[in-house]
A and B are shown apart, each in its own frame.
Chain A
Amino acid sequence: MNMSLTSKNSKKKIQAEEEILGLESYIRDFWRFLPLPVCYVNPVNIILDIDEVFSGFSGYQPTEIIGEDLRKLFVSSEQTEEFEKEILKKEIVLNREMVFVRKDKKKIPVNISAMQRKDEKGEFIGYFFSLTDISESKKFQERLEKEVEKKTEDLKEKIGELERMNKIMIGRELKMVELKGKIEQLEKQQKNRK
């Protein structure tokens, strides 16, 4: 009786371990497949895990960055603090604009999105965040803004020119009216003399 119970328990244990191994392999493959830089952070803002894409994006090997403070990865500590406060309050934070600092100190504008993790009691145990490189769209936006600025300047210049021309034209018109008046006056004077 006892033997069969022990054997059942041991079978269950083996099954559970196999399931965990299956889960491990699933998680590993999933993290490897994810095309986004993803990072896992604990409630005291220490980086606990990153995926391979994050490693490539940041320039840090997992062994170098895991255990570091999140603030190491962003230009502004104030902004990072605000983000940390926000993820404490909200389950999901979407597309917050920040500036990321790579290992080689290169700064990259990113959109950061995050999702809380909770334990079985519903207590906050950390969060995942992912990054989207917005350098290209930022460059495009800046180009567009510069172009709009330049076009506005050109337009202002053209308007100024038109206004100047207008003033000149009006001045000439008035002068002609004045001269016409003078001519008429002179003609009248001449007639009177005759």
Chain B
Amino acid sequence: MINKEELNKLLEVKGEVKGVVFQTDGKYILEKEGEEGIKKLEKRVKELGFPIDYRKGKALDLHPIGLRIVSLLLIKDTFDWSDGEIRNMGYITPTTSFIVKLLMKFFVSFMKFMNEVPRYWEEHYTVGKLETVKLDDETKDAILHLKDIKIHPLFCLYLEGYFERMYQFIVGKGGRCRETECMFKGASYHEYVFNLKK
């Protein structure tokens, strides 16, 4: 069961996120749970007093980054979803995100895309740093490090799905992404490893 105090604490985390993430959350819920589902979530959000607008929020407006996690936790709790479903939500998100559409010109080749990934992060979040640490154009293997951001393990999982889909936009459906190091497991960064399914 969700604890309001814990959720409120998340709002104290420094940093901001663009409103587009709530738009994509809303679209996913609408597709998965229908109009009834989104109404149920909106009611819950309103009752708890969080200013999340899943329908009319502006894609580029900035919100406290904690709200991103509040949204994920409330979705998971409201629909009794598994962690895997949250990962899948991340996986589906790039297909409906307006910001991803703005960045489409970078989905032209593996190297170009991977080199532009840090910019992708900056387009969404005002904290954290995404760095490319390994790139192999031949094998299409890559390693990214996400630094200076530790909010919630569920977010790590969401991002794993999200990054996997973005990677597939370049290498096709055989692309996989796994978080191999995590700040919640003692590492000094989150490490995401990308490779083609063998």
Contact = CB atoms under 8 A, between A and B. Distances in A.
Interface of A: 17, 20-21, 24, 27, 40, 42-44, 46, 48-49, 61-63, 66-69, 117, 119, 123-126
B95 A62 contact: yes
Given A49-B101, A61-B31, A44 B95 contact: no
B2 interface: no
Interface of B: 31, 58-60, 92, 94-96, 98, 101-102, 104-105, 107-109, 165, 168-173
A67 B60 contact: no
Contact of A42 (B59, B60, B94, B107): B107
A24 B98 contact: yes
What 10 A-B pairs have minimum CB-CB distances, sorted nearest first?
A66-B95, A17-B60, A125-B105, A42-B107, A63-B95, A67-B168, A63-B92, A43-B108, A125-B108, A119-B105
Given A67-B165, A69-B173, A20 B108 contact: no
A67 B95 contact: yes
Report whether over half of chain A's contact residues are helix, strand or loop; otherwise say mixed.
Answer: mixed
Report whether over half of chain B's contact residues are helix, strand or loop; otherwise say mixed.
Answer: helix
Nearest to B27: A63
A46 B96 CA distance: 15
Contacts of B165: 67
Nearest to A117: B105
B104 A40 contact: yes
Contacts of A48: 104, 107, 169
Given A46-B169, A69-B172, A21 B108 contact: no
B169 to A, nearest CB: 6
B25 to A, nearest CB: 14
B147 to A, nearest CB: 26
Nearest to A62: B95
Nearest to A16: B60
A53 to B, nearest CB: 17
Given A43-B108, A44-B109, A62 B96 contact: yes
26 contacts: A17-B60, A20-B102, A21-B59, A24-B98, A27-B101, A40-B104, A42-B104, A42-B108, A42-B169, A42-B170, A43-B109, A44-B170, A46-B168, A46-B169, A46-B170, A61-B31, A67-B94, A67-B168, A67-B169, A67-B172, A68-B173, A125-B105, A125-B108, A126-B104, A126-B105, A126-B108
